[in-house]
Amino acid sequence: MKIQLGIIAITTILSCSAQKTIVQPEANMSEAKEVTQKTPATFVISEKNVKSSLEYLASDDLEGRNTGSEGIEKAAVFIEDFFKKNKVKPFFKTYRDSFNLKEIIGYNMVGYVEGNDPKLKNEFVILGAHYDHIGYGEAVNGDSIANGANDDASGTVAVLKWAKYFSKTKSNKRSVLFTLFSAEEMGLKGSSHLAKRLKEENLNLYTMINFEMIGVPRAEDEITAYISGYERSNMGQKLNEYGGKELIGFFPKAKEFQLFKRSDNYPFYQAFKIPAHAISTFDFTNFDYYHHVDDEADKMDFKHMTNFINLMIPALEGMINAPTQDIKMNDE
């Protein structure tokens, strides 16, 4: 999600059924132990797994994940391995949706979980985030790597965990694409490429949500998260209705700074003219390290982040499984 600096810039439970899969805390990044119960149970995404995923994506080894760098290649491999391990299929021939920016080759990563309803599976929902960052920034105490933990390893981890959830539970009636974008920091180039490609392929897209900077909580008297372009559709209200609580709200600065147009949701709105929004918990008061070398994993609130990821599941399931397309654009 981006605002042109001068103002400020940002690039910016659970359903129970007769049988559920419980994912135990993972011992490491390559192993997921699962337990299946035949009694009503709750699928919980653990704080330990959220933390370990984010710590890798925001580690110095990935050198700030600048598009075209060796570091972002490591991030892409991590995402591919995560999808494979959790049986999230590639939507295209491979997980990589490649594009060129002059001499740079970028990759969006696209996973796919097919819907379980014979009719509704032909409709798609996209859950996305950008996994790139700026690479290096102004050095502080000898550290020049801009790790991008909040921006947007946090959103990337959320999308990966939801991909795992829907792959394991098979609880989605509509089909879902889990899209991780590169070159967001270069001007939404990755999402623009993917939106154009999917439009040319006549994807029947219902809604799109992009998740930006969800690693830190808002003040206790504020709603947990806000949605950009709140007034453009009824998505915020419907997500709260589906989730059974007021989780998503209106944030005046989002409209003031035109955040709707400054994140990876916007190319999908432009291409498809459907409800496509960004959701964030960063509100200009709760995080000081945008595009800064101190945007590191140790600045993240993993309890908040894990809670948000889990609380969003029933809201997302409600949107994905509604028998009719209840989320609609408002008159503009």
- Taking residues 310-320, report their average pLDDT: 97
Q: If you count them, how many residues does the chain have?
A: 332
Q: What is the CATH number of the domain that holds 180?
A: 3.40.630.10
Q: Residue 101 falls within a domain, yes or no?
A: yes
Q: What percent of the chain has pLDDT above 70?
A: 87
pLDDT in tens, 233-276: 999 999 999 999 999 999 999 999 999 999 999 999 999 999 99
Predicted confidence (pLDDT) at residue 33 exceeds the cutoff of 60: no
| Residue at 249 is within a domain | yes
Query: For residue 264, is it within any domain?
Result: yes
236 domain-assigned: yes
Instruction: Please tell me the predicted confidence (pLDDT) of residue 44.
Output: 84
Domain that holds residue 66: 46-321
- Residue 104 falls inside a structural domain: yes
Nearest CA-CA partner of 134 in 69, 180, 185, 181:
185
User: Residue 313: inside a domain, yes or no?
Assistant: yes
Domains held by the chain: number: 1
Is residue 22 in some structural domain?
no
pLDDT tier at 1, thresholds 50, 70, 90: low
Mean pLDDT, range 63-77, rounded to an integer: 98
Residue 95 in any domain: the answer is yes
Q: Count Cβ atoms within 10 A of the Cβ of residue 15 and give its class: 0-12 exposed, 13-18 middle, 19 or more buried.
A: middle
Assign 328 to helix, strand or coil.
coil
Instruction: Using alpha carbons, select from 153, 169, 163 the residue that is nearest to residue 43.
Output: 169
Question: CA–CA separation, 90 vs 106, rounded Å?
Answer: 17
Residue 331's pLDDT band (cuts 50, 70, 90)? confident
